[in-house]
Chain A
Amino acid sequence: MSEKGLNRTDINGILRELRSEFASQAERAGTIEAIAGGPVDRDLPPDYWRFSDTDLENELWSRIPGLDRAMLDLGQAIDILPSVPLPARPGLAGKIKGRFKNLVLRLAMPLVRVSLEKQDRLNRIALERQDRLNGQFKHLQFIQFLTVKQLRQRLLVLEIENRELRGRLAELETENAICGEAPNHE
């Protein structure tokens, strides 16, 4: 199959070994999040979930082959792959620049603190008020929740009663419509 002599059996062996290694790691994993590679539950209310994960992923990744083909059509003039590896750490010039910026910031810090003292005070007061309002809001939400729950229970009872009454009414109407209007053939 390949130029350097890897045959189907070799490939199968490599893949099987690799899979069993990962599968046993997954088995040992304590949580489902550890297997899935990230959080699996969301706390957003349903109204905000207009697009599912699958929809989003399909939408985003379905564009990749198109882009790819477009690049090939351009005679491979554009290549998203860099010709040389990109450096992950800054070079000497970058390090010097960074240290200089740090120094300037440290020197300027006392001036910044003094000039922003008033603003800091205002921020603290605003935060305290916000916390208080949040507490009141939560309390209100809880009361609303209880009221809605009680109303739902009441509605359920009313629906059951309504259903029973409708059934009875339909029976009476039918009896009235058929027996009242049509002559008895007997």
Chain B
Amino acid sequence: MSEQSLAERLARHAPADKAWEETFLNQIDKKRQAGAEEYAEAMAACLKYKMADSALPGRIGKAIAQGAGLRTAVNTIDRCQLLLGLRKPRIAVYDHTWQFIGGAQKYGATLAEALQETGEITLVGNRPFSSEHLASWYHLSLGSCATRVIPLPFYEEKGGDYIDPADITSRAVANPFHAVSRASLDYDLFINNSMLEMVLPLAHRSAFITHFPGEWRPLSYFYVDRYTRVVYNSRYTADWIEKRWGFKPHTHIYPPIDMAGPRPENKEPIILSAARFDPGGNKQQLDMIRAFQLLVRCRPKSSRGWRFILAGGSHGDNPYLRQVQLYLAAHPGLPVELRTNITASELQELYRRASLFWHFCGLGQSNPALVEHFGMTVAEAMQCGCVPLVFDGGGMREIVRSGENGYLFSSLTELIETTIRLLDKPALRPNLAEAAWKAGRSFSKEVFAGRVKDLVQELLAPVPLTP
């Protein structure tokens, strides 16, 4: 129902004839949550045009609360305030893991940064965290973002840093995340960045950011289909959302990559790998070392002077990292270097110097969750002009065009053969590096921010957003 038509109706019926009001109130219970937009428009029109009856919003509000529930009543009033331009939109970005460094958290924090001018942003979490830490970890400016911690008694009792949603296996256990759902009622737009399908959004508009649907649709609590928009980070993720959750997601937004370096020049004979040292070994660093060892052993002349550098973060006592260190200690002559927990600028310097970039994640895996869903480090490497040689699977197929700006491989033999070709023919590398550098720019933070703003504009329309 457009505002204009409603206004015309009001002009025809109100204020002399109260029949329209009675009819409107009678219709409320039939329209459920979807009616909030219409109710808000009606309320705003009443206040803005003919009806200066100060008790009318109260009557409408109470009828909505009785007929369609408290949520719709609160949403209607919030929406009405926005339609009348009485305040800026309140936007929440929720993640239960803000306290950890990671790609998904970076996605959420960058999203919050992009929306700072659009509304009042609150970063919502369940364990203590600070926006200053997020800003310094991800090189962002989050000065106008407020933070809010919603403790979850179920997990407070369990203790520990990590909130594990897998603890809730059935509906026999009360949903501890309903506390977050209740809090979502305070916002005009609730963005769930934490992949927690157990959070029911109660805000008028909501978005669910899907990094990957790790599990089949659980039989405990599942509310992803209640979100206004489901966002996905790659087409690979979108396919699995459809397979595992049974619906098509709405909006595609690639993760933000902000490693853009200068045009590739003066590259050194370095093969680089940048990936977190996952305790389960999902990033397959050990396999990469073995592949490099094979390369050196079989083609000593071609690989002379080349080094393999493995950069990546590691948290606490990491059994996989220990395994890698032990392997390198057993092979002292191998030109392989480990760089753990280096800063972003050190990593950028490595990207700038490295000629080739290897990424194995997904090779030989049967579980789709263990294949790279997007491949942020691949895009980072490309932004700095490294030629990527990556596994042909997951989101990496969307980043690398094999033969144009890098190579995709599906077996170890293919990788080593391609690497040998690039080592033997150095003239091939500059063109590929230039193409990779150009392609990497399409994943920039600016492109990401633009898409996020478009999404929010669409969600909050027709409320105009501040530039």
Q: Does A pair with B?
A: yes
Using CB atoms and an 8 Å cutoff, list the residues of chain A in contact with chain B.
1-6, 8, 10-12, 14-15, 18-19, 22-23, 25-27, 29, 32, 34-38, 40-41, 46-47, 49-55, 57, 60-61, 64-65, 68-69, 72, 81-86, 159, 162-163, 166-167, 170-171, 173-175, 177-179, 182, 184-186
Decide: A182 near B247, CB < 8 A? Known: A12-B81, A18-B58, A60-B34.
Answer: no
Could you jot down 16 A-B contacts, CB within 8 Å? A8-B86, A14-B58, A15-B57, A15-B81, A23-B74, A26-B70, A26-B71, A37-B32, A37-B69, A49-B217, A54-B225, A54-B227, A61-B34, A171-B412, A173-B411, A178-B413
A173 contact set on B, CB distance < 8 A:
411-413
Measured in the bound complex, the distance between the Cα atoms of B80 and A167 in whole Å is 60
Interface string of B70-86 (1 = CB under 8 A from A): 11111001101100101
Tell me the smallest distance from the CB of B304 to a CB of chain A, in Å. Answer: 9
Contact across chains for B412 and A32 when beta carbons are under 8 A apart: no
Q: Does B146 contact A (CB under 8 A)?
A: no
Contact of A81 among B19, B35, B86 (CB under 8 A): B19
Contact of B225 among A49, A68, A175 (CB under 8 A): A49
Using CB atoms and an 8 Å cutoff, list the residues of chain B in contact with chain A.
1-2, 5, 8-9, 13, 19-20, 22-23, 32-35, 37-38, 47-54, 57-58, 61, 65, 68-74, 77-78, 80-81, 84, 86, 171, 175, 178, 181-182, 185-186, 200, 202, 216-217, 221, 223, 225-228, 245-247, 287, 290-291, 294, 297-302, 364-366, 411-413, 416
Measured in the bound complex, the distance between the Cα atoms of B44 and A8 in whole Å is 12
Decide: A5 near B52, CB < 8 A? Known: A18-B57, A65-B1.
Answer: yes
A49 contact set on B, CB distance < 8 A:
217, 225, 246-247
Measured in the bound complex, the distance between the Cα atoms of B245 and A47 in whole Å is 9
Contact across chains for B69 and A35 when beta carbons are under 8 A apart: yes
Q: From B225, which residue of chain A is reached at the shortest CB distance?
A: A52
Q: From A162, which residue of chain B is reached at the shortest CB distance?
A: B366
Contact across chains for A185 and B301 when beta carbons are under 8 A apart: yes
Contact across chains for B69 and A57 when beta carbons are under 8 A apart: no
Q: Is the interface of A mostly helix, strand, loop or mixed?
A: helix
A167 contact set on B, CB distance < 8 A:
287, 364
Contact of B226 among A12, A18, A52 (CB under 8 A): A52
Measured in the bound complex, the distance between the Cα atoms of B290 and A65 in whole Å is 63
Contact across chains for B32 and A38 when beta carbons are under 8 A apart: yes
Given A41-B221, A162-B366, 4 additional A-B pairs, CB 8 A: A54-B228, A57-B33, A171-B412, A182-B298
Tell me the smallest distance from the CB of B251 to a CB of chain A, in Å. Answer: 12
Decide: A175 near B19, CB < 8 A? Known: A34-B70, A49-B246, A72-B8.
Answer: no
Contact across chains for A35 and B78 when beta carbons are under 8 A apart: no
B5 contact set on A, CB distance < 8 A:
65, 68-69, 72
Q: From A57, which residue of chain B is reached at the shortest CB distance?
A: B34
Tell me the smallest distance from the CB of B399 to a CB of chain A, in Å. Answer: 24
Please report the number of residue pairs spanning A and B whose Cβ atoms sit closer than 8 angstroms: 190
Measured in the bound complex, the distance between the Cα atoms of B411 and A177 in whole Å is 12
Contact across chains for A170 and B185 when beta carbons are under 8 A apart: no
A11 contact set on B, CB distance < 8 A:
47, 84, 86
| 3 residue pairs, one from A and one from B, having the closest CB atoms | A37-B69, A4-B52, A52-B225
B299 contact set on A, CB distance < 8 A:
178, 182, 185
Contact across chains for A14 and B364 when beta carbons are under 8 A apart: no
A159 contact set on B, CB distance < 8 A:
366
Q: From B287, which residue of chain A is reached at the shortest CB distance?
A: A167
A85 contact set on B, CB distance < 8 A:
19, 22-23
Measured in the bound complex, the distance between the Cα atoms of B32 and A21 in whole Å is 20
A171 contact set on B, CB distance < 8 A:
290, 294, 412
Measured in the bound complex, the distance between the Cα atoms of B246 and A54 in whole Å is 14
B51 contact set on A, CB distance < 8 A:
2
Decide: A47 near B228, CB < 8 A? Known: A85-B22, A163-B364.
Answer: no
Contact of B185 among A2, A6, A26, A182 (CB under 8 A): A26
Decide: A68 near B23, CB < 8 A? Known: A14-B57, A32-B182, A37-B72.
Answer: no
Tell me the smallest distance from the CB of B10 to a CB of chain A, in Å. Answer: 11
Q: From A71, which residue of chain B is reached at the shortest CB distance?
A: B5
